Structure 1
Amino acid sequence: MVFSRENFDQLLGENANLKSEVSLLQEKVQCLMKKLFGRSSEKLSPDQLMLELEELRELQEALELAETKAELAEEEPAASKRGKRKGLDARVPKDLPTETVIIDLDEVKANPELYKKIGEVRTVRLDVTPTRFFQTVTIRNKYKKRADRSVASLIAPAPKQLIENSYASVGLVLHIILSKYCDHLPLYRQEQIFKQRFGVEISRKTMGGWMYLVAQWLSLI
């Protein structure tokens, strides 16, 4: 159903008038109920009361109908202003990584030489991988010369750590910093999230020490 601006304004006016009439009738009914059941000696005919109530019911129905039409009239311009919905390509970065899953029938997989591909149907969905913890293990092999065992063993130098003698990686510290200062997650809440969702225990005191070191490094710039 399409409403013009003139019809829309007319419906709003009718809606306001009906609301006013219903309010007046409600006050009138309250007054009539007091006269009928209150202490006043004035008597009221039951027929007169039923007539007033019937008139009130009809006005309420008319009000509900007018409100429904007004809501439809409000939705119609909004839908026309929205226009065509943006596609997924316009909502995500151009360089967003893509994972492709190919699904074939079992009979095609069993005998691919019997079939010829004539087309495909693509369905694109936006997915996300939640935060996940994993361990990075660095192994440095030690070697000894076979010909001369008196020579000291050889081993590759250890890679430089962000925080010496700490199990924290650059990725972990960066995640905590972004969560605290960009996502407004205090350290105690991060501690709870790590333990409850992932079973990883990192105390807020430990994370606070890491934040202190990072703050010292950044103070130089």
Structure 2
Amino acid sequence: MVRNLLVEKEDALREKEVVLLEKDHRIRLLEEALMLARQHRFGRKCEALSGLQRLLFEEDTDADIAAAQTQLENLLPKGRSDEAEERSTPTRKPLAAHLPRVEKVIAPASDNCPDCGHSLRFIRDEISERLDYIPASFVVNRYVRPQYSCDCRQTVVSAPMPATLIPKGLPEIGLVTQVVISKYRDYQPLYRQSHIFARSGVEIPVSTQAGWVGAAGVALEPLAEPYRVS
């Protein structure tokens, strides 16, 4: 009986030692990969690139560095992980004051102390802020125009529809503005915008968007006229 217990204990120790060796090996590989990624990111190879090619290279390399750092933080002991995080985490700028704040109160599960059961007394609010993003969404503006009849004139009276950029078209000015800004300011071709819209279940062909862009250009032409070079 005692012998069996000793054998089981030795097997458990060997398994634990193997796990630790594999973990140390993984840490060394990640540290080497992180070092190489940083050399590529800030070395001559990066400096030799230019324009969009360099931007894409830097984005991919920064993503690789972040992935390696995250894995290291999960593998390193608590102390070493905190030191690595302090070295790698840049000083954060405060979040823009103009952004709307959504307050989420996270209260304790109970009003009593979890250790002794005594009633808790409020001290203060600890506040931390995280930045979130709400994806753009479509909305259908449904115009309801009550119609009234005039018995004297034998006619129907109703309010006129608001002005629109595309006569008899479906898009509101906000949607046309989004397409134009995405195309010319954010460099999103119309076919890519079609894919983005499709994720929301809205099918807008490239030809339709092109028609909107053309109509917007005509509408904005008076604003550009003073800046034309004769």
- Distance verdict in 2 for CA 1:150–1:122, change over 3 Å: same
- What TM-score comes out, normalization by structure 2 length? 0.49
- Distance verdict in 2 for CA 1:83–1:172, change over 3 Å: same
Distance in 2 of aligned mates of 1:116 and 1:128 = 35
- What is the count of residue pairs matched by the alignment? 136
Partner of 2:202: 200
Distance in 2 of aligned mates of 1:104 and 1:152 = 62
Structure 2 residue 184 is matched with structure 1 residue 181: yes
Partner of 1:169: 172
Structure 2 residue 101 is matched with structure 1 residue 104: no
Distance in 1 of aligned mates of 2:91 and 2:164 = 45
Specify which structure has the bigger relative contact order, considering alpha-carbon pairs within 8 angstroms and separated by 6 or more residues.
1
Distance in 1 of aligned mates of 2:156 and 2:120 = 61
Q: In the TM superposition, what whole-angstrom CA distance separates every residue of 1:181-215 from its partner, at most 9, and x where no partner exists?
A: 112111112112212x1111001001101111111
**CA drift at 1:133:** 1.4
Structure 2 residue 123 is matched with structure 1 residue 121: no
Partner of 2:227: none
Q: Runs of 4 or more off by more than 6 Å in structure 1?
A: none
- Distance verdict in 2 for CA 1:215–1:149, change over 3 Å: same
The match for 1:215 among 217, 221, 227 is: 217
Distance in 2 of aligned mates of 1:207 and 1:83 = 44
Residues 165 and 216 in structure 2, CA contact (< 8 A), matched pair in contact too = no
**CA drift at 1:115:** 7.5
Distance in 1 of aligned mates of 2:120 and 2:97 = 35
Distance in 2 of aligned mates of 1:144 and 1:116 = 67
- What TM-score comes out, normalization by structure 1 length? 0.51
- Distance verdict in 2 for CA 1:141–1:88, change over 3 Å: farther
Distance in 1 of aligned mates of 2:208 and 2:88 = 52
Q: Which consecutive residues of structure 1, in runs of 5 or more, have no partner in the other structure?
A: 1-67, 109-113
**CA drift at 1:117:** 3.8
Partner of 2:147: 142
**CA drift at 1:159:** 1.2
Distance in 2 of aligned mates of 1:160 and 1:182 = 25
Q: In the TM superposition, what whole-angstrom CA distance separates every residue of 1:10-52 from its partner, at most 9, and x where no partner exists?
A: xxxxxxxxxxxxxxxxxxxxxxxxxxxxxxxxxxxxxxxxxxx
State the identity %. 31
**CA drift at 1:93:** 2.8
Distance in 2 of aligned mates of 1:83 and 1:106 = 35
